[in-house]
Amino acid sequence: MHEFAITERLVETALRTAAESAGPDARVRRVRMVAGALHALVEDNMQMAYAVLTRGTAAEGSRLEIVRRPVIAACGGCGWSGEITPPFFVCPRCEHVGVEVTGGKELFLEEVETADEH
């Protein structure tokens, strides 16, 4: 359940961002995070952790969007670059096994939407 540790940081950062940008009374409506496919995150665990961790905060009841990004690799053998499917880190063109991973490790908070004030 490392999802809990990651979600803790997500919620903390989202709340801080909302308060700094939209004022101390701002309520969070939606949070979007980006997670590369190399991170073994179970989405249900993330959602569950999010619901628990936002309880009693300005983000209670808000929606968590998780955007997955594919693993991208570049082949040092033939110059091919593109999407690969773990667990096979092999060049689909020349079958070279030493491809370099250039995308799929990202893990960040991308956007926070706050509710408009009335």
Partner 1 sequence: MNIKVYQDLMGANEEWAARTRVLLKEKGLAMVNLIGAPGCGKTAVLEVMARRKDGPRFAVLEGDVETTRDAERLARLGLTASQLLTGGACHLEAKLVHYALRDLPLDELDLVVVENVGNMVCPAEFDIGEHAKVAVLSVTEGEDKPLKYPLLFREAKAVLLTKTDLLPHLSFDLATCLKNLQSVNAAAPVFQMSAAREEGFGPWQVWLNEARAEARSP
- Out of 15, 24, 25, 39, name the contact with partner 1 by CB under 8 A: 39
Cα dihedral value 91, 96, 97, 102, nearest 10 = -50
Helix axes 2-22, 43-54, angle to 10 degrees: 50
Give start and end residues of each alpha helix (H) in the chain: 2-22, 43-54
- Cα–Cα distance measured from residue 66 to residue 31, given in angstroms and rounded to the nearest whole number: 9
SS3 85: coil
Q: Which stretch binds Zn ion (CB under 5 A): 39-47, 68-76, 81-89, 100-108?
A: 68-76
Q: Nearest 5°: phi and psi at 68?
A: -90, 140
Asked if 77 touches Zn ion (CB under 5 A), the answer is yes
- Out of 28, 59, 71, 91, name the contact with Zn ion by CB under 5 A: 91
Provide the minimum distance between the beta carbon of 81 and Zn ion in the complex, in angstroms, as a whole number. Answer: 9
Provide the minimum distance between the beta carbon of 35 and partner 1 in the complex, in angstroms, as a whole number. Answer: 9
**Which does residue 94 touch among partner 1, Zn ion, none (CB within 5 to 8 A, set by kind)?**
Zn ion
- Out of 38, 51, 66, 74, name the contact with partner 1 by CB under 8 A: 38
Provide the minimum distance between the beta carbon of 25 and partner 1 in the complex, in angstroms, as a whole number. Answer: 13
Asked if 98 touches partner 1 (CB under 8 A), the answer is yes
